[in-house]
Structure 1
Amino acid sequence: MIDDVFAQLARQGAALVRLTSDSRRGAPGAAFFAWPGAAGDGRRHIPEAIGRGCAAVLWESEGFDWNAEWRLPNAGVKGLKSRAGLLAHAFYGRPSDSLWVCGVTGTNGKTSCTQWIAAALETRGERTGLIGTLGAGFAGALGPVDNTTPEALEVHRLLAQMKRTGAGAAAIEVSSHGLDQGRVNGVAFDCALFTNLSHDHLDYHGSMEAYAAAKARL
């Protein structure tokens, strides 16, 4: 199903170079992913994405009909948000399959642990990428990220970029929000590290049990 989506878009004439779920970052060659979320329905921003030159749109099919006036390659996908990670994994050439990837979760210590992991691997000659609170990239040259764990499309793009620039490994901070929202779906983790669990983020998760369950998904 995953490869079929991109094949369907290609048959419609789409030439894609990147994926985004932010219509403000729409541009020629980009595929815009539109799904309903807590902050609003991304499908309302399809006209903006088209106006910015996006090459295609993937949209959550449940409860929505494509507007025939939007003459653009498109594909309706049921459960798009949960499948976004797998779609990005396939689109970017399955980068985590050929990297040693460690995910670090826990209330405290994620940043320190990922930095230590990267430093240890670097001493063995393994160039190691980082994704987390301090940014994404390589130690000493981190670029900004929107969240500790970026959204799924961005995580896979970053991993592909790291692979292209010589990385053999990656250490990722995986927040409970990121796990609950599927931001690391599709990442082929080789190692999972749990640091600790204390009372935090209960406004989001509702209870310690739900918070622990989110962490356990890694």
Structure 2
Amino acid sequence: MIGDRAKERGREWAGRFLPPPVLGKLPERLSGLSDDSRTVGPGTLFILRCGSTYNEQHLREAVDRGAALLLVPEIHLSSVARRLGEWGCDIPVCATPHIQEASGIIASAWWDFPSRTLSIVGVTGTNGKTTSSFLTREILEAAGKRTGLIGTVWFDLGDGMVEAPQTTPGALFLQESFARGRENGLSAISMEVSSHALDQERVAGTHFSAVHFTNLTRDHLDYHKTFEDYFLAKSRLVLWTNPDGSQPGAVVNGDDPYGKRLLASLRGSGRMVLSYGHDPSFDIHPGTVRISLDGIEGTIRLPGGEMRISSSLPGDFNLQNIMGSIGCAL
């Protein structure tokens, strides 16, 4: 349970982190933050997350449940204002042109920017995200960093494993999860970041310490219009710029054709980049390695040294996962 201090904000906070109201005045007090009308209570800041259309029933439910302030997309401002007038509501309204991105940034501010004080490692790619996020967590734990997990199957925010709601949670829930991990004494979180989450700005407002690209194969074309769109969505994490303008270190699988493309685009960017793969020219590559049904044994060559590995995970694909995860922990 997150402490009560971060659960209530005043007018000064709203004036600092929200767009100026276009209808009414900012309320004296905000008691909560939600983009789900079912969880709105008296005093809540309700964010109307939507696309080209919005559900009026959700808006009405938020109003009826006591929302104190609305943040809506600019494209729907006139429609929302008209509905509020028809319903006889005088709730103040703020508007933004980028509701998805604004949601994450505002949620981060609501919870006192938790990812600034945590080492957040984001893993993206078609295959290997789950294994790599677990491996990264184990490596960081072995190095003495108490590390949480936000994954496809499991969450661990420092108070035990629970089933994950989705690959990458919504922007508001994600920032609250970071805050919960911080309060539980975590110093790092290893997390999977899906292409859907990147396209929908669910990680907006997050300060990443490292980002990891595993590979890209044909998938999710039911969501992304083309394979190029899928690649561009994934690449957003690798090319990430943090809210303060800093850039996380990037760890990229150079054996993958799209990883090679990303490495070429990162060349000369000024950010720290670690490549990994089988070619000795990569920053992280195998030394003497034996792969069998019993697992992987051998040495991994790193910038300035060598590391001995012993894993029960079989297969060359897991050797790649191990190399990438080591890179994230460097």
TM-score category of the 2 structures, normalised to the smaller one: 0.7 to 0.9
Q: Which moved more, 1:110-119 or 1:171-180?
A: 110-119
Matched, 1:95 2:114: yes
One-letter amino acid of the structure 2 residue matched with residue 34 of structure 1: L
Change (3 A) 1:52 1:193: same
Name 2:29's counterpart in structure 1: 14
Deviations 1:105-137 (A, max 9, x none): 011111111111112212222111211212323
Q: How many residues align?
A: 216
TM-score scaled to structure 2, two decimals?
Answer: 0.59
- Separation of aligned partners in 1, 2:105 and 2:168: 16
One-letter amino acid of the structure 1 residue matched with residue 104 of structure 2: G
Name 1:135's counterpart in structure 2: 154
Name 2:91's counterpart in structure 1: 72
Q: Does the Cα contact within 8 Å between 1:130 and 1:137 map onto a contact in 2?
A: yes
Rg larger for = 2
Name 2:6's counterpart in structure 1: none
**Displacement of 1:208 after TM fit?**
1.7
Query: Counterpart of 1:157 in 2: which secondary structure?
Result: helix
Instruction: Give 1:5's match in structure 2, choosing from 18, 22, 25.
Output: 18
- Separation of aligned partners in 1, 2:90 and 2:162: 36
Q: Does the Cα contact within 8 Å between 1:14 and 1:73 map onto a contact in 2?
A: no
Q: Does the Cα contact within 8 Å between 1:108 and 1:195 map onto a contact in 2?
A: yes
Name 1:162's counterpart in structure 2: 181
TM-score scaled to structure 1, two decimals?
Answer: 0.87
One-letter amino acid of the structure 2 residue matched with residue 52 of structure 1: R
- Separation of aligned partners in 1, 2:210 and 2:15: 25
**Displacement of 1:6 after TM fit?**
7.8
**Displacement of 1:11 after TM fit?**
4.0
Change (3 A) 1:191 1:161: same
- Separation of aligned partners in 1, 2:188 and 2:48: 31
Instruction: Give 1:51's match in structure 2, choosing from 60, 64, 74.
Output: 64
**Displacement of 1:43 after TM fit?**
5.3
Name 1:33's counterpart in structure 2: 47
Q: Which moved more, 1:189-198 or 1:23-32?
A: 23-32
Q: Which has the higher contact order (CA 8 A, sep 6+)?
A: 1
Q: Does the Cα contact within 8 Å between 2:151 and 2:192 map onto a contact in 1?
A: yes
Match runs of 1:163-202 below 5 Å: 163-202=182-221
Change (3 A) 1:198 1:139: farther
Q: Does the Cα contact within 8 Å between 1:129 and 1:162 map onto a contact in 2?
A: yes
Percent of aligned pairs sharing the same letter: 36
* Gapped regions of structure 2 (runs ≥ 5): 1-13, 238-330
**Displacement of 1:29 after TM fit?**
4.7
- Separation of aligned partners in 2, 1:25 and 1:91: 17
Deviations 1:169-211 (A, max 9, x none): 1111100111111111111111011111111101211222111
Q: Does the Cα contact within 8 Å between 1:105 and 1:175 map onto a contact in 2?
A: yes
Instruction: Give 2:138's match in structure 1, choosing from 119, 126, 137.
Output: 119
- Separation of aligned partners in 1, 2:208 and 2:172: 16
One-letter amino acid of the structure 1 residue matched with residue 186 of structure 2: A
* Gapped regions of structure 1 (runs ≥ 5): none
- Separation of aligned partners in 2, 1:34 and 1:162: 26
